[in-house]
């Protein structure tokens, strides 16, 4: 059974990069983060990415990779050689709504986001959102 069939076949699930075991609670949390990133991109840029994948990169870091999110105007900017201006504009908008990005991850994980980094490769139309979470308290037992 494909992940699309397992999750009701919605395009959002497909875009959420679901290929892990859907019974794992971490998968639901990562799916929620992917969905939140798609929603935020739609709000910010007028269209969401065509692909998104969210994973842990160590115990306190979450990375979301978003593909094909450039708008037609942004693709035109890239094509006429305005890559740096495009990067600057995109990152300005992403950081202008940094509280929303942080809140989405904090809500999904139940942990405070202590670091947020955003980047984009305009030539390959890939973006990343990286979140560093506050470490969990060490159990003294």
Mean pLDDT of 131-136: 95
Tell me which residue range forms the domain holding 115. 3-133
| Count of helices and strands (H, E) across the chain | 6, 4
Q: How confident is the model at residue 72 (pLDDT cuts 50, 70, 90)?
A: very high
pTM of the model: 0.80
Is residue 140 in some structural domain?
A: no
**For 81, phi and psi rounded to 5 degrees?**
90, 15
Is residue 138 in some structural domain?
A: no
Q: Please, what is the Cα angle at 127 between 103 and 99, to 5 degrees?
A: 20
pLDDT tens digits along 90-129? 989 888 999 999 999 999 999 999 999 999 999 999 999 9
Is residue 141 in some structural domain?
A: no
Q: What is the pLDDT of residue 34?
A: 97
Is residue 127 in some structural domain?
A: yes
pLDDT tens digits along 27-58? 899 999 999 999 999 999 999 999 999 999 99
Q: What is the number of domains present in the chain?
A: 1
């Amino acid at each position: 059974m494909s992940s699309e069939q397992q999750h009701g076949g919605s395009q959002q699930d497909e875009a959420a990069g679901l290929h892990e075991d859907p019974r794992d609670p971490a998968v639901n949390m990562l799916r929620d983060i992917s969905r939140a990133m798609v929603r935020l991109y739609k709000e910010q840029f007028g269209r969401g990415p065509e692909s998104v994948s969210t994973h842990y990169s160590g115990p306190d870091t979450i990375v979301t990779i978003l593909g094909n999110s450039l708008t037609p105007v942004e693709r035109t900017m890239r094509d006429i050689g305005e890559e740096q201006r495009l990067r600057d504009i995109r990152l300005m908008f992403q950081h202008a709504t940094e509280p929303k990005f942080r809140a989405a991850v904090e809500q999904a994980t139940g942990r405070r986001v202590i670091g947020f980094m955003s980047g984009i490769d305009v030539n390959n139309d890939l973006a990343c959102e990286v979140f560093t979470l506050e470490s969990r308290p060490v159990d003294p037992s």
